[in-house]
Homo-oligomer: A and B are copies of this chain.
Amino acid sequence: MTDESTVRFQPWDEAGRVPPGTTLLEAARGLDIGIESLCGGEGLCGTCKVVVEEGVDCLTEPSKADELLFSDDQLAAGHRLSCRAAVDQPGCAVTATVPSASQQTGGVVLTEGVEREVELDPAVKHYRLELPTPSLEANVADRERLLDGLADAYDLEVTAVDWLVQQELPNRLRATATPDGLAVTATVYDGSEVIDVSPGLDEAVYGLAVDIGTTTVAAYLMDLRSGERLAVSSRLNPQSRFGGDIMTRVRHTRRQEGGREELQEAILEGVNGCIAEVTRDADVDPDDVYEAVCVGNTAMHHLFLGIEPSYVAGSPYVPGNHAALQVKARELGLEINPSGYVSWLPVSGGWVGPDKVSVLLVSGHYRGDELTVCIDIGTNGEISVGNRDGMWVTSAPAGPALEGAELTHGIRAQAGAIEAVEIDRETFAPSCETIGGEAPIGICGSGVIDLLAGLFETGVVDRRGQFRDAVRGHERLRTKDDGVLEYVLVTADDAGVDHDIVCTQNDIREIQMAKAAIQAGTLVLLEELDVETVERVVLAGGFGNYIDPESAMTIGLYPDVDEATVESLGNAAGSGAQLALLNRAHREEANAIVELVDYYEIAGTDVFRDHFMDAMYLPHREFERYPRVKARLEALRNVDDEPI
């Protein structure tokens, strides 16, 4: 006969035997089950809640803290602080469920694009406190009463209190005065500043990751206690009404009095729209959102924060700052808690902004051994090459062709857009896949790459990207009035529009120029590192999820590598912002990346121009640089006799 009792924890269904007097928190620790306990088992913080399903009568009576934190109904249903509830009797069987909010999570998994586990350590945290009731004897001021409480209960050396919080502090502290003291929850930013004080126990603490693209804005609402993503909202960047591309918008700030303010207001309006939507969808009070971690290219960063963008837009492309900037939400007018913060990741250099830094946070290749190229394809292609021993980054002016724009029948990725193309070697007839399986209405980025690769593989175009005379007269090829050929991808009969969908010689030039810019940028960096090629290719951006790796390599968009090593990160910029929001260490990492990575400004340099001319060829003037592509092509047809 023993005095011990059995305590079992759900959802793990793990049990152990404990002597009388053992608290449930201690029992869990004995089983290596992690229950949150911010205050270290002092009955203060309320983070170690469990629900006792069986054997509640074997436990000590509910403590004062339990009575304060739980309603009568909850107490009756077995809700207890695990640090206060001790097994009181011998030979009992107790079963307790640990709700997910009380579970000490090793980390959460982000599934946006690539999966990445992240330990939770957000900048914003809640601390529940019980403070002495003010009296003639205990007459220390409210601010110091609060800060002393944080030091005593949580060993936090907080020295700052936001001004707005200070104004209301006397009221907030006294809102839930009990005979035992003042019960409040303090919201602390980065362990150093109180940014909110709420009466009683307040568990709601949320944050936003915001990805500001030239074209679209996306906001992710995250629960900072669980790491869970609660809602997402995206919309067109309202700055688009001032111009679709960055240069037009920057010109607007120079030419129009108050233009910089107009652009700033537009993007803030867009982000505030996203905030209204995600908080409504998740039923969250915007005042419980305490931080927005933002990423975007350098121009978006400058325009969002109201920083003069003119000088980064022209040579020598010097940005206003490298450092990670932080501004109070109320100063910007971002509609979250006014005492909260808007935090931008740092700027690498020139056009290589916080979005690229965010991508590097996710790809992590700056700290790996493998020599890697990481390409974020957009109007500007941001390219990084290197490994832990050294890394260069640059921005290449790809233009919008790979996004489907500025081609005769190019369109953005949307229902009816041709996203994949294969061309028959004999008939040159294409087979097209469209988004949503609808009748084709145009061709988008991934289709464009497939198309050019297919035309080259089948010999419709030569290594210079010109329609070969040999294909003249073929039914898919049509001679225009000026004698130049064009390739008919879909006839009007099969299209969802009332005309043929074609690819002209000029379209092919546009695609070549786009890929050549990225390829040349990559080659400049490879040369700077004094290496010939890389071991691994990482693609970022929504685009990367859809392009066919073989097609992309065939036209030379990235170096010749084993296809198995090509990885797509999806929207890595948004994922990186989430990482930085959920764990402060990733912000330090982002700062370290900016220190570590060398920015190479290629614009206007001779070395870029030279590489660009060579990169106009398919896949490159020096075919030997693409041995895998060359071997495959040679198996299909004779490529050596083509003019270069």
Tell me the A residues contacting B by CB distance below 8 Å: 134-136, 138-145, 161, 163, 166-171, 174, 305-308, 310-312, 315-323, 325, 327, 331, 347, 349-350, 599, 601, 604-605
Contacts and interface: CB of A to CB of B under 8 A. Distances in A.
A163 B327 contact: yes
A166 B316 contact: no
Contacts of A139: 316-318, 349-350, 599, 601
18 contacts: A134-B316, A135-B316, A136-B315, A140-B318, A140-B322, A141-B319, A142-B311, A142-B319, A142-B321, A145-B318, A163-B331, A167-B306, A167-B307, A167-B308, A169-B307, A169-B320, A169-B321, A174-B311
A171 B331 contact: no
Contact of A143 (B323, B331, B349): B323
Given A136-B315, A170-B312, 4 more contacts: A134-B311, A134-B316, A139-B317, A142-B321
Nearest to A143: B321
B320 A143 contact: yes
A144 B321 contact: yes
A171 B308 contact: yes
Given A321-B166, A325-B166, A141 B308 contact: no
A140 B604 CA distance: 18
Contacts of A138: 316
Contacts of A135: 316
A565 to B, nearest CB: 32
A141 B320 contact: yes
B166 A307 contact: yes
Among all A-B residue pairs, the 8 with the closest Cβ atoms: A143-B321, A170-B308, A134-B318, A141-B322, A141-B319, A136-B316, A170-B311, A167-B306
A325 B331 CA distance: 19
Nearest to A349: B139
Contacts of A317: 136, 139
Contact of A169 (B136, B143, B171, B308): B308
A163 B305 contact: yes
B350 A170 contact: no
Nearest to A312: B170
A306 B169 CA distance: 11
Given A142-B318, A319-B142, A347-B141, A170 B310 contact: yes
Most chain B C-beta atoms within 10 Å of own C-beta, residue among A321, A325, A331:
A321
Contacts of A307: 166-167, 169-170
Contact of A318 (B141, B166, B306, B347): B141
Given A134-B311, A311-B174, A349 B167 contact: no
A138 B349 CA distance: 11
Contacts of A350: 139
Nearest to A133: B316
Contact of A323 (B144, B312, B318, B605): B144
A306 B171 CA distance: 13
Contacts of A331: 163
Contacts of A323: 143-144
Contacts of A305: 163, 166-167
Contacts of A349: 139, 141
Most chain B C-beta atoms within 10 Å of own C-beta, residue among A134, A144, A171, A306:
A144
A305 B319 CA distance: 37
Most chain B C-beta atoms within 10 Å of own C-beta, residue among A136, A311, A323:
A136
A141 B167 CA distance: 37
A143 to B, nearest CB: 4
Contacts of A347: 141
A140 B311 CA distance: 12
Nearest to A332: B163
A322 B144 contact: yes
A225 B432 CA distance: 76
Contacts of A161: 321
A320 B163 contact: no
A190 to B, nearest CB: 15
Nearest to A323: B143
A349 B134 CA distance: 13
A138 B601 CA distance: 11
Nearest to A346: B141
Contacts of A136: 315-317, 601, 604-605
A76 to B, nearest CB: 37
A447 to B, nearest CB: 37
Contacts of A311: 134, 142, 170, 174
A508 to B, nearest CB: 32
A310 B605 CA distance: 67
Contacts of A170: 307-308, 310-312, 318, 320
A58 B381 CA distance: 62
A446 to B, nearest CB: 34
B168 A308 contact: yes
Given A170-B310, A305-B166, A141 B316 contact: no
Given A135-B316, A316-B134, A316-B135, A322 B143 contact: yes
A161 B601 CA distance: 26
A259 to B, nearest CB: 14
Given A163-B327, A169-B307, A170-B307, A320 B142 contact: yes
A591 to B, nearest CB: 12
Contacts of A143: 320-323
Contacts of A142: 311, 318-321
A142 B140 CA distance: 45
B134 A320 contact: no
Contacts of A321: 141-144, 161, 166, 169
Contacts of A604: 136
A621 B144 CA distance: 41
A136 B350 CA distance: 10
A26 B350 CA distance: 45
A147 B317 CA distance: 19
